Structure 1
Amino acid sequence: MTTQALPPVVDTETWEQRLRTLRAREKAATRELDAIAAERRRLPMVEMPDYVLEGEDGHVRLADVFGGKRQLITYHHMWFPGEEWQCRGCTGFTSQYTRLEFLDSYDARFVVVTQGPIDEALAYKRRVGNRMTWYSTAGSSFGADVGAPPGGGFAVNVFLRDGDTVYRTWHTDGRGTEQLSHTFALIDLLPYGRQEEWQDSPEGWPQSPTYSRWPASKDIAAAYGPESQGAT
């Protein structure tokens, strides 16, 4: 018999009634998210300068980062100069995206942008087994102008291209990025949830310091990097 705190045990009818009550709230939240997405589609946009970033094949205009698509999502990966292991939150977040081809049907692309020099950024990408396309904004004010300056935090931006003219349509940072992640969605289904101190949990539930259960970037590299796949 475990000594760890457990949810109360009830009969099936009581459990189903509590579940129906919770699902009513979940459905209401889903409808609210639909309404938010509808409002997002009605946002105005702002025209962007003709930025030049750097990719694996050299310098590239922001309009060409779209790869021929009309819509672009950029994840702005935190970067700490000279560090072997970059932000574990960013490393873990972007490690989720191994298949992005489904965006082709929506005329869209999703890439990583970082303040790190392109050679260092690509080396880090390989080290941790990242599958996304990376660009550097080290020689451009692009990152700083869209909420991801040198030494700053992570962010997500969305752009729309009309010919060679690029417009910024949406931005978020902090916990606003959680809706783009499947990890938290899965963890939040669990009886004990994220097990972090800030969460509202019943008395006796296991709780740890915030971020303490997140994998380190080194652990992500061990799981997804070249060495884990038998590469040399």
Structure 2
Amino acid sequence: MTSHALPPVVDAATWERRLEALRVREKAATRELDAIAAERRRLPMVEMPDYILEGEAGPVRLADVFEGKRQLVVYNHMWCAGEEWQCSGCTGFTSQYTRLEFLDTYDARFVVVTQGPIEEGLAYKKRVGNRMTWYSTANSPFGADVGAPPDAGFAVNVFLRDGDTVYRTWHTDGRGTEQLSHTFALIDVLPYGRQEEWQDSPDGWPQSPTYSRWATSEDIAAAYGPGSGDG
């Protein structure tokens, strides 16, 4: 006997019928996501000022952050001044992206931008084993202008470059970033799901306070940072 809550056990035919009924909803959700993506491709855009960011090699224009590509995804990483460990959600989100070369085929690049000073940002990047290129907007209004002001907030922004002119085409924050993450997609197909209190789960399913199962920034540094075997 087990002390853990378990789904009901049924015969194979009953299981197949229930799975097929769920699949109808899953396929409908997929088609809705396709329609949303189609609408996203039809969004208008807004021209951006000629921002100057700080990179590892010094000041760089926003248009040059593209490094010749036409499309740019920017993850605005939360930054709290004076903290050794920054937002675990941001640290965990960006730690997923260790292979970004596939974007080359799509004429695109993915970078991290933070409000922290560039020296501190690069040191943190190394500490947690992050693989993306980092930039700082500590001396620029760029972060605040795209929904990620100092000491508050994270965001994903997408930009399109036409020559030296940069346009903002899309933005999301909060749970809108989940669709860009593979972690939740994998966890959500598990029988117990995310195991967080807010989720609608059967009685007896394991549930914990929201965020309590997330890896801390220290955990991520131990897994991917220097000395981890992967850093």
Alignment-derived partner of residue 191 in structure 2: 191
Alignment-derived partner of residue 6 in structure 1: 6
| 1:229 CA displacement | 2.1
Secondary structure at 1:227 match in 2:
coil
Secondary structure at 1:229 match in 2:
coil
Inter-partner Cα distance in structure 1 for 2:61 and 2:2: 59
Secondary structure at 1:157 match in 2:
strand
Inter-partner Cα distance in structure 2 for 1:219 and 1:160: 35
Query: C-alpha deviations, 1:128-169, integer Å up to 9, x for none?
Result: 000000000000000000000001111000000000000000
- Give the partner amino acid of 1:46: V
**Match status 1:37 vs 2:3:** no
Alignment-derived partner of residue 226 in structure 1: 226
Inter-partner Cα distance in structure 1 for 2:108 and 2:68: 9
Alignment-derived partner of residue 138 in structure 1: 138
Inter-partner Cα distance in structure 2 for 1:200 and 1:153: 27
| 1:2 CA displacement | 1.0
Q: Is the Cα–Cα contact under 8 Å of residues 223 and 230 in structure 2 kept in the other structure?
A: no
- TM-score normalised by structure 1 residue count: 0.99
Inter-partner Cα distance in structure 2 for 1:41 and 1:165: 19
Alignment-derived partner of residue 103 in structure 2: 103
- Give the partner amino acid of 2:155: A
Q: Gaps spanning 5+ residues in structure 1: where?
A: none
Secondary structure at 1:140 match in 2:
coil
Secondary structure at 2:20 match in 1:
helix
Inter-partner Cα distance in structure 2 for 1:171 and 1:222: 31
Query: C-alpha deviations, 1:195-216, integer Å up to 9, x for none?
Result: 0000000001000000000011
**Match status 1:201 vs 2:216:** no
Inter-partner Cα distance in structure 1 for 2:71 and 2:20: 39
Inter-partner Cα distance in structure 2 for 1:51 and 1:152: 20
- Give the partner amino acid of 1:4: H
Alignment-derived partner of residue 71 in structure 2: 71
Inter-partner Cα distance in structure 2 for 1:105 and 1:141: 31
Q: Is the Cα–Cα contact under 8 Å of residues 73 and 109 in structure 2 kept in the other structure?
A: yes
Inter-partner Cα distance in structure 2 for 1:228 and 1:4: 34
Q: Gaps spanning 5+ residues in structure 2: where?
A: none
The 4+ residue runs of structure 1 with deviation greater than 3 A are none
Q: Residues 118-129 of structure 1: matches in 2 within 5 Å?
A: 118-129=118-129
Alignment-derived partner of residue 167 in structure 1: 167
Secondary structure at 2:149 match in 1:
coil
**Match status 1:113 vs 2:135:** no
**Match status 1:21 vs 2:21:** yes
Inter-partner Cα distance in structure 2 for 1:43 and 1:168: 10
Identity rate of aligned residues, in percent? Answer: 85
- Give the partner amino acid of 1:224: Y
The count of residues paired between Structure 1 and Structure 2 equals 231
- TM-score normalised by structure 2 residue count: 0.99
Shifted more, 178-187 versus 222-231: the winner is 222-231
- Give the partner amino acid of 1:26: E
Inter-partner Cα distance in structure 2 for 1:139 and 1:95: 26
